[in-house]
């Protein structure tokens, strides 16, 4: 079997655009007609440029390659141009290609990918979501603790056993920083009121995006500890794991991180210094499914858990479900609400979600198929990136 064709899709995510402004998908086709899909997550370039990067790598290394030789193909692409570095650009491209190869292999063997990586260890996967605004809101769920508490209670009533939110304020080009006293108070109010609203029925996941210095993160965490969050997410930027380790050692809330890391090598540095208890690899950035499985194994040997990140499209989501189904140290899987909306429209068969849990698919490969007609009907024509970092110095 050989790969004979590659095609990319740059898809706009219509309002309310939960999961990002757009998604970049890859389709690989073999000489036997089998199709595999992949997705690259949030490269720091316009998505049309990203699609061109994927097409370039496919033309150089993927066309005429055997999709079963995933490990060899991964090493060839990773080492191309004498790089052997895990930058997010190369790794995002590599993730999409690797994912699509696994989809092909599973379909050829008529087995879900999880059956090829050790087999199913659970019948369902616990899921969580951010608290999101909804149509008709006159208040801002991102800044109003009372509305956030109401929304959390609504989600728990729908079956969620964990909810996430980031009340710390916008992430900026000037991070990390100390938070203002007002921001500390608002963060404490969010956690206190959400805990009062959900009681012991749900875990609280305190999300941040690397806005704080280690000293600032410790200062905030100590105000949150009485409310027992399940995790404190990316308290400092991801580039300095030693500073994150300072936070982890100083607080009782488990530190979770990993969405901006790429490859087992970056995660190994986290493990070496004890910077986190929960690893949040994104399968569209970390190097694909097998790389994520290796990281999950490294975490398991250190008694750590995984909670794969998902603020992107449904193909990365499907890959994360395959990983979670065969990983004994999975804690929980991120989702965009209940996996409905445009995520479901893009798939011929939506992800099966029921009362807070994902039911793993039994179809071969990724278990989902991209609806190419829907993808092509929603081209991205904007100029902004998937996520935008604030360029103004934050107010104190």
Residues carrying an active site annotation: 209, 309
Could you tell me which residues are beta bridge partners of residue 207? 233
For residues 99 and 315, is the Cβ–Cβ distance under 8 A? yes
For residues 368 and 318, is the Cβ–Cβ distance under 8 A? yes
For residues 13 and 72, is the Cβ–Cβ distance under 8 A? no
Q: What is the 3-state secondary structure (H, E, C) of the chain?
A: CCEEEEEEEEEECCCCCCCCCEEEEEEEEECCCCEEEEEECCCCCCHHHHHHHHHHHHHHHHCCCCCCCHHHHHHHHHHHHHCCCCCHHHHHHHHHHHHHHHHHHHHHHCCEHHHHCCCCCCCCEEEEEECCCCCCCCCCCCCCHHHHHHHHHHHHHCCCCEEEECCCCCCECCCCECCCHHHHHHHHHHHHHHHHHHCCCCEEEEECCCCECHHHHHHHHHHHHHHCCCEEECCCCCCCHHHHHHHHHHCCCCEEECCCCCHHHHHHHHHHHCCCCEECCCCCCCCCHHHHHHHHHHHHHCCCEECCCCCCCHHHHHHHHHHHHCCCCECCEEECCCCCHHHHHCECCCCEEECCEEECCCCCECCCCECHHHHHCCECCCCCCCCCCECCCCCC
Phi-psi group of 184: left, alpha or beta (phi > 0 → left; psi -120 to 50 → alpha; rest → beta) = alpha
Closest C-alpha to 319, from 362, 339, 290? 290
Burial of 129 (0-12, 13-18, 19+ CB in 10 A): buried
**Diameter over CA atoms, the chain:** 62
């Amino acid at each position: 079997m050989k790969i004979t064709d590659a095609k990319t899709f740059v898809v706009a995510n219509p309002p309310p655009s939960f999961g990002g402004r757009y998604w970049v998908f890859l389709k690989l086709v073999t000489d036997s007609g089998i199709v595999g899909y992949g997705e690259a997550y949030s490269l720091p370039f316009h998505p049309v440029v990203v699609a061109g990067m994927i097409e370039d790598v496919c033309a150089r290394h993927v066309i005429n390659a055997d999709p079963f030789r995933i490990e060899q193909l991964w090493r060839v692409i990773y080492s191309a141009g004498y790089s052997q570095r895990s930058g997010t650009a190369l790794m995002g491209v590599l993730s999409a290609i690797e994912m699509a190869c696994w989809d092909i292999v599973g379909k050829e063997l008529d087995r879900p990918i999880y059956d090829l990586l050790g087999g199913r260890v659970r019948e369902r996967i616990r899921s969580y979501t951010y608290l999101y605004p909804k149509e008709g809101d006159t208040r801002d769920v991102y800044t109003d603790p009372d509305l956030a508490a109401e929304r959390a209670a609504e989600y728990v009533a729908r079956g969620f056993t964990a909810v996430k939110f980031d009340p710390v304020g916008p992430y900026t080009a000037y991070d990390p920083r100390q938070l203002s006293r007002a921001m500390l108070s608002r963060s404490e109010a969010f956690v206190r009121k959400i805990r009062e609203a959900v009681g012991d029925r749900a875990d609280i996941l305190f999300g941040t995006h690397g806005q704080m210095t280690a000293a600032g993160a410790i200062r905030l965490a100590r105000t949150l500890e009485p409310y027992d969050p399940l995790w404190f997410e990316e308290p400092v930027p991801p580039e300095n794991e030693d500073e994150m380790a300072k936070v982890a050692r100083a607080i009782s809330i488990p530190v979770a991180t990993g969405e901006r890391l790429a490859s087992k090598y970056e995660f190994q540095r986290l493990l070496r210094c004890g910077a986190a208890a929960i690893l949040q690899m994104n399968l569209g950035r970390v190097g694909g499914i097998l790389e994520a499985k290796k990281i999950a194994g490294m975490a398991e040997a250190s008694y750590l858990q995984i909670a794969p990140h998902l603020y992107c499209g449904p193909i990365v989501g499907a890959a994360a479900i395959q990983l979670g189904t065969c990983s004994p140290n999975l804690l929980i899987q991120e989702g965009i609400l209940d996996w409905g909306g445009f995520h479901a429209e893009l798939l011929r068969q939506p992800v099966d979600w029921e009362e807070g849990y994902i039911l793993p698919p039994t179809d071969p490969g990724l278990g989902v198929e991209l609806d190419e007609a829907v993808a092509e009907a929603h081209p991205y024509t904007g100029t902004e990136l998937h996520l935008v970092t604030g360029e103004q110095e934050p107010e104190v």
